[in-house]
Amino acid sequence: MHHRRVIFPTTKQTLQRIRSRRNRIKCLICVIVTSLILTTIVLTLVFTVFRVKAPIIEMNGVTVNGQDSTAGTQIQLLGTNISMIVDVSVKNPNSVTFRYSSTTTDIYYKGMVVGEARGPPGKARAHRTARMNMTVDIRIDRLVLEPGLVREIIGSGHVDLWSYTRVSGKVKIMGIVKKHVTVKINCTMAVNISRQAIQDVKCKNKIDL
**Chain segment 70-125, per-residue pLDDT in tens:** 434 444 444 456 777 778 788 888 777 888 887 888 889 888 888 887 778 888 88
Q: Which of 182, 163, 179 is nearest to 171 (CA)?
A: 179
Average pLDDT on 129-145 reads: 79
* Cβ(143)–Cβ(166) below 8 Å: no
**Domain boundaries in the chain?**
11-49, 56-208
Please provide the CATH number assigned to the domain covering 56-208: 2.60.40.1820
- Round to whole Å and give the CA distance between 170 and 97: 9
Q: What is the pLDDT of residue 199?
A: 77
Higher-confidence residue: 51 or 190? 190
Q: What is the pLDDT of residue 84?
A: 74
* Average pLDDT score over the chain: 72
Q: What is the pLDDT of residue 198?
A: 72
- Round to whole Å and give the CA distance between 19 and 156: 93
Q: What is the pLDDT of residue 70?
A: 42
188: pLDDT strictly greater than 80: yes
